[in-house]
């Protein structure tokens, strides 16, 4: 029993490492995004495209990832994910222009999209019902762990090389190649999913792996489990998949949980955290440290969520998360409204300070109140830096409480997400679909998630130019109120239910 449990844990951890690189890749760009914009002179739309390239790749990967996962098996697809991550890291680090950079990020995004299909699906298929939430949730834990390591890595590289170094951002992105290689080699030690093997005429091999997972089973119990899997598959095989009742309900649930996940603003806030905090008076160095604090809180509360997911259940965690979202986003919107004047002064002072520190600066981008005094000829003079530092110090003192309140609210928002949607989404999507359509259904849920993530990341820079932060955070608050209503009216509880029984339960809804 102990041996099989250790083996199961090792397999789940190995598979979940795809989530670590996913998280690392997703957030590592936040430390480089402002440097990339200035290096290639990108406007708001071009910058949004470069930033969202990986997310559009996730859309492609999640849409088309289900087919190969069902056809070739979970293990082979998981291995190719690592290869795509490696290619993306090297390509991004050495990109000579924004086009090559965007293509490299797109390749990594495809890996991310496929990983959200194959990894949770694999873990859920090898896990006993009573441990499925915690084990499948390890994918989310590793995503968050990757976020934390990426922000720490960015901060260390920035500290060692300096914010003025023109190649620091390339090191930030290229270092991802190391965990990508480690993960790829570890994938060779994974077995194939026993459910996939049984449903693809490899009954003997599937039964053998199922026996390794459930070493406490007698031969008769093991045979009954194999027959149960075969029967669940045969129930679906005679029906048009899209018209079967459990699949239609599961598709609606997967679409809505992914939709609300992104309309909370989570990816936009994580991806642009340094910039959002910079709007309140935190300079780039402080913002990166605070971004590390954000991911640390994310990690801690993800552990709390995974601790509770098989005890309280998926639905209860979504309730907790919804209330946390609503409170934190509402207060954040209020802070941006109440402190808009000192926040604006602080942002202007930071812009001047950054321009005064640059070798080449675009004077037209300086705040209007400074353009009459500062020119391209005197920009590098010591008095300009002194003006910038004094202005920033004064503005930060005035905005002090408001700046800290925004930071606290964002930390609370992250905690609510980690306990609720963050802990639940990949577990929930991986366990609600009928056996014959599990890869297809997983693709639909993941594609929905990434389509909205890509759209939000693409338009967020434009939204920050067109709308106030109060309006943006107010919109996210409204969407989370709608999520709370959805959880109350539609979401079933899935804890402790076998994948085969889930199919029968959804047929009765």
Question: 24-49 pLDDT, tens per residue?
Answer: 887 787 777 777 777 777 776 777 77
Chain centroid to Cα 93, Å, comes to: 21
pLDDT at 155 over 50: yes
Q: What three-state secondary structure class fits 102?
A: helix
What is the predicted pLDDT for the residue at 363? 43
CA 75 – CA 80 distance, rounded (Å): 9
Question: 418-475 pLDDT, tens per residue?
Answer: 999 988 998 888 888 876 677 788 888 888 888 888 788 778 878 888 888 899 999 9
Q: Which domains does the chain have, with CATH numbers?
A: 2-190+239-353+378-508 (1.20.1250.20)
Integer distance in angstroms from the first to the last C-alpha of the chain? Answer: 36
Residue 1: count other Cβ atoms within 10 Å of its Cβ.
8
CA 225 – CA 209 distance, rounded (Å): 12
What is the predicted pLDDT for the residue at 361? 45
Element (H, E) at 280: none
Percent of the chain exceeding pLDDT 90 equals: 19
CA 413 – CA 346 distance, rounded (Å): 24
CA 147 – CA 225 distance, rounded (Å): 38
CA 489 – CA 486 distance, rounded (Å): 5
More confident residue, 387 or 158: 158
What is the predicted pLDDT for the residue at 395? 57
Question: 193-233 pLDDT, tens per residue?
Answer: 888 888 888 888 888 888 887 777 778 878 888 887 777 66
What is the predicted pLDDT for the residue at 362? 46
CA 178 – CA 182 distance, rounded (Å): 7
pLDDT at 378 over 60: no
What is the predicted pLDDT for the residue at 389? 59
């Amino acid at each position: 029993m102990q041996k099989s449990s250790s083996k199961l844990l090792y397999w789940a951890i190995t598979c979940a490492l795809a989530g670590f690189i996913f998280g690392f890749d997703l957030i590592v760009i936040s430390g480089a995004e402002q440097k990339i914009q200035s290096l290639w002179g990108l406007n708001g739309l071009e910058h949004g495209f470069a930033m969202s390239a990986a997310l559009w790749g996730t859309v492609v990967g999640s849409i088309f990832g289900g087919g190969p996962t069902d056809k070739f098996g979970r293990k082979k697809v998981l291995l190719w994910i690592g290869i795509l991550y490696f290619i993306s890291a090297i390509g991004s680090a050495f990109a000579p222009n924004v086009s090559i950079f965007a293509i490299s990020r797109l390749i990594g995004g495809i890996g991310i999209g496929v990983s959200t299909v194959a990894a949770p699906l694999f873990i859920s298929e090898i896990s006993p019902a009573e441990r499925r939430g915690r084990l499948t949730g390890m994918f989310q834990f590793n995503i968050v762990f990757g976020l934390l390591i990426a922000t720490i890595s960015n901060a260390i590289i920035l500290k060692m090389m300096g914010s003025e170094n023109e190649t620091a951002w390339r090191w930030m992105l290229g270092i991802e190649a190391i965990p990508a290689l480690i993960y790829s080699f570890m994938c060779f030690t994974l077995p194939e999913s026993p459910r996939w093997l049984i449903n693809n005429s490899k009954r003997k091999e599937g039964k053998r792996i199922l026996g390794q997972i459930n070493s406490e089973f007698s031969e008769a119990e093991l045979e009954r489990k194999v027959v149960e899997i075969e029967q669940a598959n045969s129930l679906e095989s005679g029906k048009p998949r899209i018209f079967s009742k459990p699949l239609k309900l599961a598709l609606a649930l997967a679409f809505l949980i992914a939709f609300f996940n992104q309309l909370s603003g989570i990816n936009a806030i994580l991806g642009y955290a340094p910039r959002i905090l910079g709007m309140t008076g935190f300079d780039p160095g402080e913002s990166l440290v605070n971004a590390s604090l954000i991911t640390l809180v994310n990690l801690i509360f993800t552990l709390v969520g995974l601790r509770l997911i098989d005890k309280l259940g998926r639905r209860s965690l979504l309730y907790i998360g919804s209330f946390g979202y609503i409170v934190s986003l509402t207060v954040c919107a209020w802070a941006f409204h109440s402190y808009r004047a000192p926040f604006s002064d602080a942002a202007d002072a930071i812009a001047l300070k950054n321009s005064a520190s640059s070798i080449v600066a675009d004077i037209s981008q300086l705040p209007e109140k400074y353009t009459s005094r500062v020119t391209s000829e005197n920009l590098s003079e010591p008095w300009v830096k002194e003006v910038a530092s004094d202005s920033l110090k004064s503005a930060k003192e005035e905005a002090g409480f408001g700046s800290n309140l925004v930071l606290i609210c964002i930390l609370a928002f992250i905690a609510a997400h980690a306990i609720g949607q963050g802990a639940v989404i990949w577990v929930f999507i991986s366990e609600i679909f009928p056996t014959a359509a599990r890869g297809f259904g997983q693709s639909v849920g993941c594609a929905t998630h990434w389509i909205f993530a890509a759209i939000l990341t693409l338009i967020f820079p434009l939204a920050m130019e067109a709308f106030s932060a109060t309006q943006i955070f107010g919109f996210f608050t409204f969407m989370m109120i709608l999520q709370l209503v959805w959880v109350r009216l539609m979401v079933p509880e899935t804890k402790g239910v076998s994948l085969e029984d889930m199919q029968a339960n959804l047929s009765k809804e």
